Chain A
């Protein structure tokens, strides 16, 4: 049981380039999330998904896109990289049941540098 996995671990992008950050979970969780963490700061929610085919914006969605075609995978797309997107990106997942408090499990993160 690998939990939440993310690839790549580290990437350098030039301004204007595009890339996809991959996230996969093998816990059959229905909820998945993308966060970014800037140095010395907490996590900000970018997008989240409550199940395959359903996604919604978080606090800081501008410059990003997501899709969720399967329960396991939740890729994050950066279309036109900007220096402001330099950050560490964490994917997380949880299993949602009504009236229950569920833990979010985090992947190891992807460190992105845009130059």
Chain B
């Protein structure tokens, strides 16, 4: 059974601080990992993906992958109220053509 676990939150972070979102996965066959942002009532939109151990940065976002610990994280620097959303972690199989999603972490950025 392929599983992806996230803390459902809510996670509350003051504006301008760093938000840290975490995710663990059960299947070592996972090849790639995705972070999606989902605003209430909207569809998921991709923030970034990572497939190599270490860090990957894109603007205010940094994804971190540790395959030995089966752990993925997303850091959001200089958090803005517009970052308030649910963040979904997904593990990819078969070249990322099949995704298994975690339950999502609800993030609130307080002005």
Contacts and interface: CB of A to CB of B under 8 A. Distances in A.
Interface stretch (B62-70, B71-79, B96-104): B96-104
B107 interface: no
Given A40-B103, A98-B95, A108 B46 contact: no
Contact of A42 (B43, B98, B101): B101
Nearest to A99: B95
B97 A102 contact: yes
A67 interface: no
A74 interface: no
A104 B46 contact: yes
Interface of B: 4, 6, 8, 32, 42-46, 49, 51, 88, 90, 92, 95-104
Interface in A80-97: 90, 94, 96
Contacts of B6: 42
B103 A42 contact: yes
Given A43-B44, A45-B98, A99-B95, 7 more contacts: A31-B97, A42-B88, A48-B98, A90-B44, A100-B95, A108-B42, A109-B43
Contacts of A101: 32, 49, 51, 92, 95-96
Interface in A52-96: 58-59, 90, 94, 96
